Every structure is written in C-alpha cells, then in structure tokens.
Structure 1
C-alpha cells in the first residue's frame, strides 16, 4: 500500500489537519501543529512529503526514523510536530487497513475507560469557582486551572496570596472528591515556584504543571524537593531524549503532546521510559479531535497512564465547526462522550473517529492566523504567557 498524496487543512481555532492518501483508497488523518506557527508546520509537512509520497504506508517506524534523523538537524517543536501528524495518519491508515483500533496494534487495551479533565478559566476566585462547578456538572471529576496570570520573577506577597486564593476557591467549589490540577504555564521562576507551591500543599492538587520553563528542566529537582505536590511537565519536550533530565529531576507526571512529541510512536516510547522512573503519563492535548483521538489510543494501551487533557471547555468553540469547535469536525461526536468523568474505549478502526471532511473543508476556506499572545511586565520587558 503506497502513499500517493496528501492534503493539509488550516482550520479554526488554531489547528492544522493532514489527510494522507494511499493507492488502495485507505486514508488516514493526523494533526501536525505548532500553535502560533501553523504555516511553518505546514511547510515542514510539505517538505516531508517529498520523501513520503511513493513509500510503503505500513513502514511506520522506518518513516519515523527517516523523518527525525535523516535531515542532519534534529529535534525541536516544528520537526517534532511535522513527524507527529504524519505518524498519527500512518497509524490511522494501519488501523483502517487491518480493521482494528490503533490501541490493538500497540498490544491491546489495558483499561476500559480513560479519565479526562477539563479547563476552568477566570480572573477572580469567584469566576474560577463557578467555572469549576460547571465542569463538574458536565460530568468531569477533575479540572485544571492557571493559578495566576502575569507574574514577576519574584513577585509581591499580595501576588502570592492571589495565587493561593484562586486555587482555594476552586478547591472549595468542587470539594475533596474532585481533583484540581494547577498549570503554572512556565510563568513561575524557579524561586517563585519554591516560594508558592508549599503554600498550596494543604489544597492537595493532583499535580503542578510546568513550574519552570522547559529551558530550566535541569532545575526541576530543586522544585521537586521543595514541595509534596506531584510535579508534571512535558508539553514543550519533544522526544524521549528531551525527557531524560525531567525524569532524573524526579517529576511525577510526564505530559508529552502526541502532536508535538513525534506522534503515537514516540509518545508510546516516552510512556515506557516514564514507567521505568515510576512516572505517570498525562498527555498534553488542548488541541483538535485528531490529536485527542490519537492520545486516547496511546492511553488505552499504556499501563502507567493517569489522566487525559482535552479541549472541551477550554475557551474556544466546543461543538460547532463554524466556530472552530472540536466536536464540529466529527461526523459523530459519540467517541468523546464523558461518562463519570471518563471516555469509554473506542472500538472503531484506526484512531476511532470519523472526520467530517465537508466541515473541515468549509473551515479551511476561512483558515486562521492564530498567534501566541504577547505579554509584557510593568517595566515593559517580555513576560511568559
């Protein structure tokens, strides 16, 4: 079965979809995207296709090796995401060709349900509390939040108290039966993390994510030693080699993104490497339906899986392709139905979803030009978003 063509679709709110076609009429879908750099990623896919068109679609691992290592310059978000989207599509093709879900090709399922969490947003504690209650009413048993907006590298006692108040409001709103995860988003310096995280320990967060920027991964051990809160990171790490320092620092939760970290193939390997270090897997996925479907396939086949991120409720259109929503790009949204905070194991072949190509094409006619917000401190210097 030969790869004979492909098509890219730039779709709202900030995603890029790939359809990969074969000479036997079997197609697969992937989501190669660096948020804010969609056009750059698309060009990378086009360059990769100079090699892939005409190749055997079943040689997934060999293609992964070529795409990641044959170009001399290796690694990074763009090359990782180009490979990721292609890898997802190749696994989708393999599953459809054999009539089985991808998790069956990864060794079979190790669970029947995958727990998911949803985002809560708000500037004030009361807003966050209301948003958290709404997610619980939606059927979720875990939520994630940003504890702050812009922070100085060493901020004031008042800023520290605002962080504590925001997390406390969400904890009070959902009670002890619902998990609350905290995403620092790289906005905290190492020193601020060591100052703030011990104050949050009585609230028992599920984990604290990206308490330092990825370039400071080697400093994570200082944060890990400073708190009893499990430390998570990985959305801006793009290979098992990138994760090595994080594992050695003592993180508790690895968060590779199946659309950034080399796709299903590499995410699966990162998960296995995490298991060696007694680290759990919680894939990053504030993305579209293809990325979520690919993540779920890994989750169902991974023994050390913890919980899955998903973008319903993240703050941009949820259910309509007309507003760039996750569910609106599917023929049938049933595979993403929440029951008791979990998604049931998909049994359909490939990634387990049917992409609504007509909706995708309509959205691609509009396209998008989403860019990462630019934040600055009070003194005019650049701040982490």
Structure 2
C-alpha cells in the first residue's frame, strides 16, 4: 500500500483517537463542578474545551516519551511501520469506546499504550518496546499517582472543613468553594491539555519518523500540535456525559469544598507529571482525588462497588487494548487487504457502539436532573453539629 496513503490513514485515526480522548476524559476536570452546581454542564464542557486547546501548546515532554521512548525508534533502534501504528490506534479506540459505553472512567492513555505495544510486538517483536520506559514512565506513575492525589485530596478536604467548621449554628461559608471550583476545574482542564493531547502528538510524530519524514528524537511539528489541540478540544466540547455521571455522582456525593480539594490535587499531580515527561493517566488521578475527598469529608460515603468497577477497568485497559492492537496488527501484516479489513471492522464497531448508546442516552439535560437528585442516589450520613458547651457561672 502506498506510504502516503497509509500515513494519512494513521494521522486521521490518531486525530479520531484524540477526539475520543477528549470526550472520554472531560469528566476528569468537570464532573465535580457539575455535581456541585458550580458550573452548568454545557458551560463546563465549553470551558474545558478551550483550556484543553490552550494546554496542548504548553509542553511537548510527554509527546517525546511516546515518540522516542515507549516504542524504540531511530538509528540503531527498531522502527515499527505506519501500518502497525494504525493497528495500535484501532486497539486504543476500541477499548476507549467500550469503557465510554459502560460509563467507566478508564485510562485513554493506557488504552493508547496498550494498543501500540500489542501492535509493535506483532510487527517487530518484543525488542521494539522499551519496557524500561514502560515501567518507569507508565506503570509506576499509574500505581503511585492516584494514591498521591487521593491522599492530597483527603488532607485538603480535612483542612477545608476544619477551618470552616462552626459550632454556633451560623453559616460556615463553605458555599464560597463553589466559586473556587471554577478556578480549580479550569486548572485541571488546562493540565489535561498539557498531558493527554501530547500523547496523540507523539503517535503522529512516531508515524512520521517511521516513514522517514522526520528525524529521530525530534519534537512534534507545529501543525501536529495544532491539529491535536483542536481534535481534543472538539472531543471535550462534545461532552462525555456517561463518565461525568459516574465521576460526579457515582463515587460519592460531592460538596463544593471537597470538589475544590479534589480538583486542586488532580491539577497539581498532572502538571508535575507533564513537567517530568510522565505519560500519566489523568483519569486515574482524578478518580483517586474524588475518592480521597469523599473519605476526607465527615458524613460522606464512597460507593466502593463503583470504585471496584473502575479499578477493574484500569487493570484490564492496557492488556485488553494490547490484544485488540495485536489482532489488528496480524491483519495489517497481510498487506493492503488486511489494512482494508481493519478499517472496515473499525468503522463497523464504532458505528455499532454509537447506535447502541442511543438506547440509553445520557446528555446534559438528563445529567442535570441526576445531579439534582444526587442525594437519593448516594447515601449520605447526616452528622449533627456539636453544640458549644455553655459557660458555667460561679
């Protein structure tokens, strides 16, 4: 198959993955402010889209991890062809849409890594994957980042409630955190753009390097940065209502103070990882923060059944996407016929998922109704305020 044609296919599919990443991960920034009423659903996703677009231009460290780290390339290294990158993207998109359909906030990042790793192993062998980078910059952050974000959110929530607690029956003023959430959720959206949009930049750059059109070790071209920024922004604006529902009301009932604490913790963790070049899962971090904030607020309960479903999704994401990517790579190895079969099966699967999703449609209006009824969905323990003891007179 003509190299230019397959390269165009890879770029188009990579941008479509970026689009799915946008609506899959909108919840990371906007689930909690929507849940507390700090932002209306449509306003929230619009704000997130703009900030994802801006964030994509702020750094390229994570893109370098993808293009010149996980998959070996360059002189003396093993290069996979654009055909197998195409297969890896199919693996990532298939798993992204499956988890979106079931409302699971799984990792788009790990779906991408899994798809690429599976395709690379089939296309060029185990030596095509730098497992040292996979462990140090993907797996270890996946283990530690949610725990760190959760602990930070737990501590921040405790502090927020401690400094605003009153015993005299007067208003505690915690509603002001709702305004703070506008800032903190915006920071998460900006951080998401600095991390997740870069992953698609790295994939396109990897394809250009594999095709000999870009020097090994080079940074993404400006047009690649711009295209990826726009794709993830459009995806974000389309709204990931299913996953926003899970993150906003399915894990715990979120109040403004804890929502603010969760968002600040998420943003700080993501921005630090972007600076260090860690290809972090923003979904893992955001979920950890929400759980941590739920544990930090007295009287709140975490729905551990939902949390277990999310963790199971995390565990299966990388290997499941790798298996799909490997199967797609086996088909791609047949030549042009295999690429066509991959494309047909991919389009058929995407169409089927969107058709099935219409049977249980979740949109901004239905989500707003669920948020208003969140007290009936999640059991909240009511804690009576302690009365201040009366002073004794002699």
The structure that is helix-richer by fraction is: 2
TM-score by length of 1: 0.26
The structure that is strand-richer by fraction is: 1
TM-score by length of 2: 0.25
